[in-house]
Amino acid sequence: MSLPRFFCATALAVGDAIALPDGPAHHALRVLRLSPGSEIVLFNGQGGEYRARLLPEGKNVTITHFDPVERELSLDITLAQGIPSGDKMDWVIEKAVELGARRLTPIDAQRSIVQLRGDRLAKRMQHWRRVAQSASEQCGRNRLMRVDEPMTLDACVTRCSQENRTILFCDPDAPSRLAQAVAGARQAVTLLVGPEGGWSPQEQDIIQKRELIALRFGNRILRTETAGLALIAAVSALKTEG
C-alpha cells in the first residue's frame, strides 16, 4: 500500500525534525487520522522524495530517508490551453499533471467565455496551482507542473519562439498527421488548444503567420478539455518510443 504523500514547500534533509505546514498537517491528522509513528512521504518540488515519521508532538515529523526517484517525462511538454468555461480548467490541470506536462499556459483567448482580471485572477491562480499540487501528491510526481498566469496567444507564441520550442496545433485540413508532425519536433514541445469558441480571425492570422506546425488528429471533433490531454498522451508516447 502506498504511503500518503504531501508537498512541503521548505528545505528537507534526512535527520531533520520539522513541523508540517497547516494544509498537510490537517489532511494527515484530521482527514486521514494518522497516528504517531505513521510513515508519510514528503517532497518539495526540487526532485526526489523523503520518507518521514509522525512524532507524538502534534504535527511534527522526523525525516528518515531520501529517495532520488524521478517520475518526469524525458519530453518537455507545455500545454497552452485556451481558457474554457466553468471548472473545466481544473480537470485539464489535474490530468495534465498526471500525464507528465511540465507547464500549463492558460491562453486568454478572444473567444474565451471566462475573463479573469484583478482579484478574481489572483484567486483563480491560487486555486489552479493548488490543483496542480494536489495532483502531484496523488500521482507520485516529485516536481510541480508550472501553471502560468494567462497570456494572449501572440505573447505565448512569441515566448515559445524565444525558447526554441516546437508548437503543434490541430487543423482538420492540415496535410500532416500526428506521427509525421511529431517526427520532426524538438524535445521541447508546446501543444496549442483553443477555447470552446475556437480562435478569432485575428488569432487565426497569428497562427498562419508564425512558424507553427499544423496537424490532423483523428477524424472526430474533440472538446477543448479533451483535445490537449489526448495530445499530451499521444505525443509523449510517439516521441518517447521514436
Query: Residue 227's domain spans which residues?
Result: 76-241
59: CB partners within 8 A, 6+ apart: 19, 20, 25, 28, 29
Output the pLDDT for position 118: 83
Evaluated on CA atoms 23, 25, 26, 32, the torsion sign reads: positive
Reported residue count of the chain is 242
Share of the chain above pLDDT 70, in %: 98
150 and 224 fall within a common domain: yes
Domain end: 15, 36, 67, which one? 67
At 66-79, the pLDDT tens digits run 999 999 999 999 99
Residue 1 binned pLDDT confidence (cut-offs 50, 70, 90): low
How many distinct structural domains can be found in the chain?
2
**CATH number of the domain residue 178 falls in:** 3.40.1280.10
pLDDT of residue 150: 95
- pLDDT band, residue 241 (cuts 50/70/90): low
Facing residues of 109 across strands?
none
Question: Are 174 and 209 contained in the same domain?
Answer: yes
Work out the mean pLDDT of the chain and round it to a whole number.
91
For the entire predicted model, the pTM comes to 0.92
**Alpha-carbon distances, residue 187 vs 49, 177, 182, 240 (angstroms):** 26, 18, 10, 10
Q: What pLDDT does residue 39 have?
A: 96
Query: Percent of the chain, pLDDT > 90?
Result: 67
Which residue reads 503543434 in cell numbers?
168
**Whether 226 and 152 share a structural domain:** yes
Which range among 67-71, 90-94, 146-150, 206-210 shows the weakest confidence by mean pLDDT?
A: 206-210
**What pLDDT does 41 receive?**
97
